Structure formats: C-alpha cells, structure tokens
C-alpha cells in the first residue's frame, strides 16, 4: 500500500514543509526565511517522489510490506539519504545563483548535524502520521481526525464485496496458516486498484473484502466498475506466479450496489467508522447470487443505471430476484469483459 496525495493534500504538505524550513532558519539564524523554505522544499521533494513511487518503486513496495517498527526504521534511513540529496541540490542552485555570496560550496551543499536532526524529527513525525493513515485508511483517518461521524450521518455510498471462491477447500488442503498467507497476498493485490480509483477498504471479513466509495466518486467515470476489472486483470496477468507460489490462481466473486446508508463512529477504546442500512445488507446478498447464478461480477440494476458503463464491459440482464430481508425484488446484471473474463459456474463456486 502507498501514500496517495490529492492536490489539496500535496499543496498543504508543501506549505507545512516550507513553513518548517522558514521557522528553523529564523530561529537558528535570525534571517533567511526564504532560503530555509527553499532548502526544506528541496529536501521534501525527493521524499514525495519516493512515496508516490516516481523513484525507487521496488524499494518502496518492499518497505511498505515490513512490520511497523521495521518500516519506521527503514523509512528514516531512506529519508536520511534523500534529505542529503535534496539539500545538496538546493545548495548547488543557491550557490550557482549567487544567493550565498562568499559561502563555500561544501558549506552550502552539506547539511549540519543540527539541520539533519531537525529534518529527521520532522520526517519522523510525518512517517508516523502517514503510517497511521495507511493502517486506518485515508478516508477513515480523515473522518476520525475531523470527527465527521461522531454523530450518525445519512449519506449515499457504493459498496463492493469481493469474495475468494474455494477458500474453505484450500484451507483444508493446505492448512490455516498457508490460507492466511494466500489471503494476505490477495488483499495486498487488491489494495492498489482500490487506491487508484479512490476507494476505501472498509473491512476484511474472513476471505472477503468490503470496499466503499462516496456515491458520486464511485459513479464518476464508472470508477467502481473499473476497479473490479483492474483487480481481475492484475490477478490474471500474474497467474503463473500465483500458481507457482500457492498452487492455484484466485477465483473471485464481486458484487456492486449503492444507496443510502447511515455512517457513524462507534467504540471507546477502539474507534471505527461503521455503515448501517439496507444497502450494505443487499450488497452482501448480491454477492451470494454470484454463486447461485453462476457469474463472477454482478451489479444491481439500480446502480448500473446511475453511470455510463465502460465500453469494454458486456452486460447480461439476469432479471429480478427476491432478497432476504428486503421487501422489493432486486434487478441484477452480470458484467464481464467481452468474452475474456470467465464466469464462475455454480459447481466451481464454494
């Protein structure tokens, strides 16, 4: 999983970093706030590039798979190097432009111990905050921080339930520990497409993942549908590795539905954003239809009508079906990619 910054978040981060550099320059030297801000920005830019996976992508993926203590240590070590590089670049530009006058090149390009300690303190705080955001999820972190759901709120959301078919039989053949390794790899694979399409993984329930979006974000350019088929495509493209490492390629069932829910922050010693309402229950029931109707990806007719479906998606109308606990029947559509995405048969489903 990686950190994603919206335009607002990126600008806010740069503003905070520049302000920190300006404050340090004013406290330490009594002047040069602009120079301090410039150094701070140049020291921050390589770190942002690293976290956005613009540079050193494999290294980024590797350390984000570490435990939190190892992640913290590894991140600080990498940041130390990147801070030095950024400081040297800022010093080179400052010296070349004549901003420092008679200051020696090495002095302009080599940070002092005090500067490094200050920068690492700021970076360490940043690592901690963003790691917490990563563990909780971007949307949940911001919601808990701002107290948005301290009182229950009614809103429109879309839910995606993704379930691993055949998980019980796999666990029986390979054991529970191996099953958990399998699920861990699968959920890690799901994470990138979810982030790419600005969704949020709400929960993991056994062998299933629950993903959610605000309604407008999910239906804009059919982001929720693109997310589903991106996940399936990534797994299919990596089929040989799955087969080699786990002895089979994951077979997923997915269901999409949206509507009105009530969101609330619950808990005292452990806080959590929880969603209540018929929409959540209906999505779970719809995912169950994947097994009985023999299709891999299902979407409610109501949700499908609220967006323009991607051009590569083929639709099959499966009619209306009674849903337990719901007074009205639910219109169901099956989605697939023009003949290339295999449907699960009832006999193959768990």
Q: Quick one: which of 213, 231, 209, 210 has its CA closest to 222?
A: 213
Which residue has better confidence, 19 or 269?
19
What is the pLDDT averaged over residues 23-48? 78
pLDDT higher than 70, residue 277: yes
Distance CA 159, CA 155 (A): 13
Confidence check: pLDDT of 137 > 80: no
d(CA 294, CA 291): 5
Q: What is the pLDDT of residues 188-247, one digit of tens each?
A: 899 889 988 989 888 888 899 999 999 999 999 999 999 999 999 999 999 999 999 999
115 vs 20: CA distance, rounded Å: 12
Q: Is 208 helix (H, G, I), strand (E, B) or coil?
A: strand
Q: Which domains does the chain have, with CATH numbers?
A: 7-136 (no CATH), 151-337 (3.30.70.1230)
Spatial contact of 209 and 187, defined as CB atoms under 8 Å apart: yes
pTM of the model: 0.69
Structure tokens at 3: 């950190």
The pLDDT of residue 122 is 72
Considering only CA atoms, give the Rg of the chain. Answer: 25
CA-CA-CA-CA torsion sign (324, 325, 326, 332): negative
Determine the pLDDT at residue 186. 94
Give DSSP secondary structure letters for 40-101. Answer: HHHHHHHHHHHHTTSS-HHHHHHHTTS-HHHHHHHHHHHHHHHHHHHHHHHHHHHHHHTTTT
Residues sharing a CB contact under 8 Å with residue 154, sequence separation 6 or more, in sequence order: 260, 261, 262, 263
pLDDT of residue 238: 94
Count the residues in the chain. Answer: 350
pLDDT digits (tens, 9 = 90+) for 318-333: 999 998 877 789 999 9
Between 45 and 8, name the one with better pLDDT: 45
| Rounded CA separation 318/298 (Å) | 9
CA distance linking residue 76 with residue 133, whole number of Å: 17
Reference 252, options 213, 209, 214; nearest CA is 209
Helix (H) or strand (E) holding 205: strand 200-205
Q: Are strands 297-300 and 251-266 parallel, antiparallel or unpaired?
A: parallel
Neighbours of 198 (CB within 10 A): 18
């Amino acid at each position: 999983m990686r950190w994603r910054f919206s335009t607002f978040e990126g600008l806010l981060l740069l503003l905070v970093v520049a302000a920190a550099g300006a404050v340090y320059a004013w406290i330490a030297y009594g002047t040069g706030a602009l120079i301090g801000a410039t150094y701070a920005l140049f020291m921050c830019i390589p770190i942002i590039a690293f976290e956005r996976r613009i540079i050193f992508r494999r290294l980024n993926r590797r350390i984000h798979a570490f435990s939190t203590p190892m992640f913290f240590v590894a991140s600080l070590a990498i940041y130390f190097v990147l801070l030095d590089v950024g400081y040297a670049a800022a010093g080179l530009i400052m010296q070349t432009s004549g901003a420092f006058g008679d200051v020696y090149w090495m002095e302009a390009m080599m940070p002092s111990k005090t500067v490094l300690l200050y920068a690492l303190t700021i970076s360490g705080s940043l690592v901690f905050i963003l790691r917490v955001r990563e563990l909780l999820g971007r949307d949940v972190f911001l919601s808990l921080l701002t107290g948005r759901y301290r009182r229950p709120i009614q809103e429109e959301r879309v839910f995606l339930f993704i379930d691993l078919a055949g998980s019980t039989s796999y666990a029986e053949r390979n054991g529970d520990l191996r099953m958990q390794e399998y699920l861990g790899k699968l959920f890690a694979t799901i994470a990138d497409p979810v982030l790419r399409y600005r969704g949020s993984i709400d929960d993991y329930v056994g062998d299933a993942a629950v993903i959610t979006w605000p309604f407008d974000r999910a239906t804009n350019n059919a982001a929720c549908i693109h997310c589903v088929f991106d996940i399936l495509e990534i797994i299919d493209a990596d089929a040989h590795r799955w087969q080699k490492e786990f002895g089979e390629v994951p077979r997923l069932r997915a269901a999409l539905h949206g509507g009105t829910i009530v969101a609330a922050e619950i808990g005292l010693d452990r806080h959590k954003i929880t969603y209540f309402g018929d929409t959540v229950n209906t999505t779970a029931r719809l995912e169950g239809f994947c097994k009985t109707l023999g299709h891999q990806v299902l979407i409610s007719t109501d949700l499908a009508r609220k967006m323009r479906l991607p051009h590569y998606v083929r639709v099959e109308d499966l009619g209306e079906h009674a849903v337990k606990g719901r007074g009205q029947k639910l219109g169901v559509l099956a989605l697939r990619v023009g003949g290339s995405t295999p449907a699960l048969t009832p006999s193959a489903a768990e």
